[in-house]
Structure 1
């Protein structure tokens, strides 16, 4: 007997897993020598110093410095009975001038001379206190591994807001100070209105508590101010990793670059783990959990639905709130096949970018023919994939797609970046050329983002994927007019583009070769990172639709002959950024795709859609329950075996609004998981994780899917031709499992007849009929 995991009942289990935490800290010493004269960006690494008998003074001064903002109280009379005690000088508030050596303060006040009355009871100011009314942090990034020559800061005030500022700095050899212009601000700019920062770093190598950063802010209309910050830690961010492995998969969490002869001279020469690979770049990583091995039926592939269910039900750190934590699951294969090497989970609402999965039997385990060192080659690819997907969880885009999102600063695409975020096989010269120069890190722009961007942009569960992406309709129209080529992208519905209130909006994409010669495209052009969709509500903000999962796929060239096309179905009502189409009104949807990495292939004409007002009070009453992240999750992935609350809502929609289009989607999402066996992660009797297979229920699947497809034309209108065909195949399989072959044949023939009447391609119709 197994117990299904629930977030309300497994606190003991989660606490036990967290108790096994291991910490990979950022080293406090500089592992390599860096040239202070190189201030243009990344400093060049030189050969490590040879060991010497006396510890070298290679103090790593990069890290986080902090000063608390005190509340300075006025002096309070405190009687002191001993008249021989000399009076205390007044305490200088932070930022004010200090008394000079003669005892007079620089603000023009005379020093306290003392009288007979003072000798009895001098006035002694009570020292200032530092409650949680504000704090200030300084992030210094001028040495260590891959310094970006940047100093940034975050100011927090309980009653004044928050500000993050960034300055690229250079060192003055004469004074030893680091200074530069403040070029970026996010938040309340009045908290630091100055234009320049100059920082002096002091303190010895042996007592971190003695290290100080004295920062002077000047320029602009404000008077200069100087604050002293105390060293807190070498890590720019703290994050927790947790790994689990399915029993039929292999997990690669470490790799020694020296095991393969094709390596860069600047690559690390010792074993890197996922934790140490990030810790050497400035992250303190806590590894939680015990690397559990989860029994799994052999040969079983994982769907997106099962992956998301597993993350929410199983991960010991799961919370619907921002947190510096990532879950990594090593599974054998995704149900898309061997072309998918890894995936970054993306959820809706607060909990985004928190889970990743690596598929050990995918293309990353297939060394090329003739590879002399296949073992190290495969290990290297699996390690790269894990680092790549975890990078996505930090909100890093692909190297060649920076201009598509993360608009916190102006970033340019880097198709030739030697970074974990680039595809080795897309690098100029190919995979071998990439690893011959790769030093197992990120690009300077990526490190700038990881270490210095406002926390909400980077932290898991905070800002959505590709946060701050902007969309300009006029620019889109100009670009579409300028794009020429063999491919035409169409965004369409097979009906009037008018939707009922509560009806999920499903659109179809068609990418067609309209030229007279064959065209080579990526087979993932309509579902991978090369696809961009924007939804703009009339009078409202334009928002980018972002899928619930990000895929890392191998190149899949496909030849489209003249007149040929490829198709995809897209649920655009909601994505990882929330619900985009929910309120009544008019919307415009735009789509663009890259047929090949780095080259825009086609942009669609805008598609206008309308969402009607509620038809009655029942639909209005159900709206609050319908437009939730859990329901969006279930609709996007075609069902769930663990999100019972969302399933209850969909069941209520089907019961209370049986004639609605929303009921078509509800019964389809409820019935699909019942049609096949499915996996969920659970706790066994011994308290260990197991993969529990939930058996199919053909009888219930037949009831629900029959309700969804009862009016086939209505179902095809709402689900779309692609999705309705898949649901028909599911229903036919459930009927076959029940032994009802006559009903199955009638269903397939009747459905094929309707699709043929609606103009679906003859090949699709005949394939359905032949089943």
Structure 2
């Protein structure tokens, strides 16, 4: 059971001291604690603690010091919890059992009335062990999430005498480096798991939720024993208990018609309104939706709850991309389910760990060589000449997390792991543009470039074009994932005030299918357009002045390709209308979310939609009105799926007439040198063509595609770019005629 959901079972005897806690301590302690925060004993020792201390002392007399790794087979690992009143401690001991990490850690909580609040955490990463027949004593210096003087930690655990060798009670003593004790308390054994989380899983009609996979069904490394793994079983091997919360609900999808695809806006709306266990606080509870498919092909899953104050409480897997009853499909489903839940625990992709807080060392070949649930199968690439790719991954994957991921899951500070705690990848924003230094040697044969307008109006959504080109016209093969949403491109932004932040998209999608692109003389470059004005940290361009941007691309072979520094300027508002429009477009997270999602009819974003409507009502001729028009045009162009409180799927159908009107005005405003950028304009026109077809105007739809080619012809784009535009136009026409 979650410690946050059952405060009556939590108790303890220590808490961080404030100045009024210094009374009653010895003069030595008062001198040590002056001006500091300290874990101190705030209540007299109970009789059971006194008796246990006497027993521990007798057992210690028989103890012989041993290295911590020789504590194996002592059977004392697991989770312990203090009893009593006041401050409570959850203690985790990790010195034996499967894959012991030789660490102890813990979290402090404070009870006041009927409430329990988190106080802080600690971890001891280097241990000394003394073992006897009846006692295990572990000592070491702790690292704390808050300042302390008594950083020395000593844990004494009475070894179990029952048949199952269940650990007995544990005493925990804090003391200063000089040996002066400060706090001690008694913890009872609770569970062999280091943490417990409740999983609520709903599924859409027509999907078949994954149950289990026998790892012996297909070839696997000899060191990995064959066993049947479900999602809870996979996490149990990592020391994490995943409890299925109640009976899974089935979401009817009959009203969805042919379009059973879920977009970001619909998933966002479902998360906010229909996770029955959801609370606007950190909790060991997570929701997973088994949906049909995503709007973009190849996306297997998404951790969509990556915005707002309380993140990482929901994710989705897309059945159509991973379905199948054969062993290979079942194996892929297991990996996808475990992978997406890993993001909810705040685990980053294998190649992104250096952007975490604190930064984690990358595994082999920049992380692409990790044999982990958090790597992409097709992108697995150990250092050459070892083979990479899907077959090599499955031949070597032991169905487990890496050691560094286990450290995070078992011993990460409470807020860094619990759902609704610290934001996903917290700390990744506090970087410097110099993080992406030019490599000393670059034989990648690739070049990355950021491009955009040189100046933006205040409040204008900042969109950058990301270009990946080959410098070797003999040809280079890599993946074509250039959008920051996919996790292979990271953009650093230095503001006019000198602060440097990393752009972090609100939603994390896992497009982990094979997506190879060959860049050569015929196609020397590929392009992507990315809105980087709003992300998980809010709006990034809120002050006038000059900004510096630099990007890094993680290639398929592990190469890290860095762009030059791109400079852009946000101009000051010149008129009162400029100020009003900027305020309406940037006054809240809801507007930023709408720009990111390209529109949504979610009730949770109603005030943001009202603000954009006000721009169109009062400032229709303002140059920035093109952006609310685009958002509104996209938003009403698609059917919107809404999960009701009764778990029924309600479809709000598209308003094709309004969409055609809004998107048509966007095209008019952008056909010349003003309006949206070229890549976005192409996206708008392809959507306009599909809406025309949906409205029963197939001839007009094909005309829109012809107009798109004509508009870009007049812009004098490069031949290979025009070739791609013509190809996109023909594909869209074929799609329209097939309907």
| Counterparts of 1:611 and 1:146, CA distance in 2 | 56
The residue that corresponds to 2:462 in the other structure is 505
The residue that corresponds to 1:16 in the other structure is none
Q: Which moved more, 1:254-263 or 1:241-250?
A: 254-263
| Counterparts of 1:350 and 1:376, CA distance in 2 | 40
| Counterparts of 1:99 and 1:406, CA distance in 2 | 41
Structure 1 counterpart of 2:551, from 591, 612, 637: 591
Classify the secondary structure of the residue corresponding to 1:199: strand
Classify the secondary structure of the residue corresponding to 1:534: strand
Residues 631 and 253 of structure 1: CA distance in aligned 2, closer, same or farther (over 3 Å) = farther
The Cα shift of 1:768 comes to: 7.3
The alignment yields a C-alpha RMSD, in angstroms, of 3.8
| Counterparts of 1:392 and 1:200, CA distance in 2 | 35
Q: Alignment length, in residue pairs? A: 644
Name the structure, 1 or 2, with higher relative contact order (CA <8 Å, separation 6+): 1
Q: Any conservation in 1 of the 2:12–2:84 contact (CA below 8 Å)?
A: no
Q: Any conservation in 2 of the 1:330–1:358 contact (CA below 8 Å)?
A: yes
Q: Which moved more, 1:695-704 or 1:315-324?
A: 315-324
Q: Point out the structure with max Rg over C-alpha.
A: 1
The Cα shift of 1:99 comes to: 10
Classify the secondary structure of the residue corresponding to 2:154: strand
The Cα shift of 1:750 comes to: 5.4
The Cα shift of 1:593 comes to: 0.6
Classify the secondary structure of the residue corresponding to 1:663: helix
The residue that corresponds to 1:272 in the other structure is 229
* 1:420-462 Cα deviation digits (max 9, x unpaired): 2233441655555545554433222111111211122112232
| Counterparts of 2:563 and 2:50, CA distance in 1 | 68
| Counterparts of 1:319 and 1:574, CA distance in 2 | 25
| Counterparts of 1:744 and 1:661, CA distance in 2 | 27
The Cα shift of 1:647 comes to: 1.6
The residue that corresponds to 1:201 in the other structure is 157
Q: Any conservation in 2 of the 1:267–1:440 contact (CA below 8 Å)?
A: no
Q: Any conservation in 1 of the 2:2–2:284 contact (CA below 8 Å)?
A: no
| Counterparts of 2:704 and 2:367, CA distance in 1 | 52
**1:474-623 alignment runs, 5 A limit:** 474-476=434-436, 478-479=437-438, 482-493=441-452, 495=453, 497-527=454-484, 528-547=486-505, 548-562=507-521, 564-596=524-556, 598-613=558-573, 615-616=575-576, 619-620=579-580, 623=583
The Cα shift of 1:475 comes to: 4.3
The residue that corresponds to 1:51 in the other structure is none
Classify the secondary structure of the residue corresponding to 1:479: coil
Q: Any conservation in 2 of the 1:169–1:178 contact (CA below 8 Å)?
A: no
Could you tell me the TM-score, scaled by structure 1's length?
Answer: 0.74
The Cα shift of 1:201 comes to: 0.4
The residue that corresponds to 2:327 in the other structure is 376
| Counterparts of 2:289 and 2:319, CA distance in 1 | 11
1:461 aligned to 2:420?
yes
Residues 763 and 406 of structure 1: CA distance in aligned 2, closer, same or farther (over 3 Å) = same
Structure 1 counterpart of 2:98, from 133, 145, 167: 145
Classify the secondary structure of the residue corresponding to 2:206: coil
Classify the secondary structure of the residue corresponding to 1:711: helix
Structure 2 counterpart of 1:356, from 297, 304, 315: 315
| Counterparts of 1:183 and 1:482, CA distance in 2 | 40
More helix per residue: 1 or 2?
Answer: 2
Residues 646 and 264 of structure 1: CA distance in aligned 2, closer, same or farther (over 3 Å) = farther
| Counterparts of 1:266 and 1:769, CA distance in 2 | 49
* 1:165-188 Cα deviation digits (max 9, x unpaired): 4333242346954445436332x2
Q: Which moved more, 1:311-320 or 1:157-166?
A: 157-166
Q: Any conservation in 2 of the 1:66–1:231 contact (CA below 8 Å)?
A: no
* Structure 1: gaps spanning 5 or more residues: 1-22, 26-63, 75-90, 101-128, 367-373
* Structure 2: gaps spanning 5 or more residues: 4-8, 16-20, 25-41, 52-82, 112-116, 734-739
| Counterparts of 1:256 and 1:598, CA distance in 2 | 31
Q: Any conservation in 1 of the 2:590–2:608 contact (CA below 8 Å)?
A: yes
1:395 aligned to 2:355?
no
Q: Any conservation in 2 of the 1:756–1:765 contact (CA below 8 Å)?
A: no
Q: Any conservation in 1 of the 2:373–2:401 contact (CA below 8 Å)?
A: yes
1:675 aligned to 2:637?
yes
Residues 690 and 130 of structure 1: CA distance in aligned 2, closer, same or farther (over 3 Å) = closer
Q: Any conservation in 1 of the 2:584–2:611 contact (CA below 8 Å)?
A: no
Classify the secondary structure of the residue corresponding to 2:560: coil
Residues 422 and 746 of structure 1: CA distance in aligned 2, closer, same or farther (over 3 Å) = closer
| Counterparts of 1:200 and 1:502, CA distance in 2 | 59
The Cα shift of 1:753 comes to: 4.0
Q: Any conservation in 1 of the 2:503–2:535 contact (CA below 8 Å)?
A: yes
Residues 581 and 298 of structure 1: CA distance in aligned 2, closer, same or farther (over 3 Å) = same
| Counterparts of 2:714 and 2:398, CA distance in 1 | 58
Q: Any conservation in 2 of the 1:626–1:650 contact (CA below 8 Å)?
A: no
| Counterparts of 2:338 and 2:488, CA distance in 1 | 21
Q: Any conservation in 1 of the 2:139–2:155 contact (CA below 8 Å)?
A: no
| Counterparts of 1:766 and 1:432, CA distance in 2 | 36
Residues 620 and 223 of structure 1: CA distance in aligned 2, closer, same or farther (over 3 Å) = farther
1:656 aligned to 2:615?
no
The Cα shift of 1:764 comes to: 4.9
The residue that corresponds to 2:114 in the other structure is none
The residue that corresponds to 2:60 in the other structure is none
Classify the secondary structure of the residue corresponding to 1:395: coil
Residues 330 and 739 of structure 1: CA distance in aligned 2, closer, same or farther (over 3 Å) = closer
Classify the secondary structure of the residue corresponding to 1:510: strand
